[in-house]
Every structure is written in C-alpha cells, then in structure tokens.
Amino acid sequence: MTVPANPPDPSPGPAPDPGPALDPDPVRRSRIAERLLPGGAEPDPRFTLANERTFLAWIRTSLALLAGGIAVEAFTSDVFLEPVRRGLSVLLLLLGMVLSAGAAVRWLRVEGSLRTNRPLPLPLIAPLLAAGCAVAAAVVIAVVVLA
C-alpha cells in the first residue's frame, strides 16, 4: 500500500468569504424604520418578505390601473365621447394613486401587527378596488348600452 504524497489537509481551511464590505446588515434597523415601526420585535423573516411581496402585488395592480387610465385616454377616442373618456381616465388614475398609497399604509400596519403579535388588519384597499372597478365597468356598460 502506498501513502499519497500529499494527503488531504484535515484542517477546515480558510473561513468563507463574508462578502463585500458594503453588504447591508439584515438586522440593523434604519432610523425611519425605528420611527414608523416602534416597539415589538423582528418577526420571522419569511413573514416580512411575504408582506413585502403582497405590497408589491398591490403596487403592480396600481400600475395596471395607471396604465389603464392612460390607455383609455389615448386609445379610445373613436369609442367614447370626450367627457366619458376623460372621466374614466381620471377615475382609473385616482384609483391607482389611492391604491398605491393604501398599499404602503397596509404594509406598515401589517408589519406593525407582526412585530407586536397582534391580529392582522383587514385589507381596506380590497373593497376600494372592487368598488372602483365596479363603477368603471358600470360607466362603460351604460355608455355602450345608451349609445
């Protein structure tokens, strides 16, 4: 039996690279976070990330409404009269603005509830979105039926 000339080194080797010095500390809270989310303790990171994903889904809905408002104004000049077109566009743009602001408020409220182990707040922007879409659909149906 021959002994290998260079047996494997049993030592654990160099420590893994901790990453660039600019790496953000995932635990350190910013000043604005301490001001807007005082008290409590950091929740499970999966809950924080899930809350962020829900916020982003609302933001994408808001962006779709903004783009829809612009599309109604830009592409439907031969379908709707000017006042209807402008009214629908304003309605969709306002709904998009309110939803994006409401999404941020909801994110804050949910994060605060998670930090303090309180029940999650009801999503008030969901009925708002439903009502806004219902009004927009009703206007379109009325215009098409009356035309």
Partner 1 sequence: MLAWGRTMLTMVTASAIFLRWIPEHGPLVLPLFAVSAAAAAAIYFTQRVRYRRGVRGITAGQLAPDIAAVLWTASSCVVLGALGLWVVLA
Task: Find out whether 103 and 55 touch, Cβ atoms under 8 Å.
Answer: yes
Tell me how far apart the alpha carbons of residues 38 and 29 are, in angstroms, rounded to a whole number. Answer: 11
Is 129 a binding residue for partner 1 by CB under 8 A? The answer is: no
Count of other CB atoms within 10 angstroms of residue 112? 16
Count of other CB atoms within 10 angstroms of residue 121? 13
Phi, psi of 107 (to 5 degrees): -55, -45
Choose one: 2-10, 17-25, 119-127, 128-136; the region binding partner 1 (CB under 8 A): 17-25
Is 122 a binding residue for partner 1 by CB under 8 A? The answer is: no
Is 40 a binding residue for partner 1 by CB under 8 A? The answer is: no
Binding site for partner 1 (CB under 8 A): 19, 22-30, 32-33, 36-37, 42, 44-46, 48-49, 51-53, 55-57, 59-60, 62-64, 66-67, 69-71, 73-75, 86, 89-90, 93-94, 96-97, 100-101, 103-104, 107-108, 111
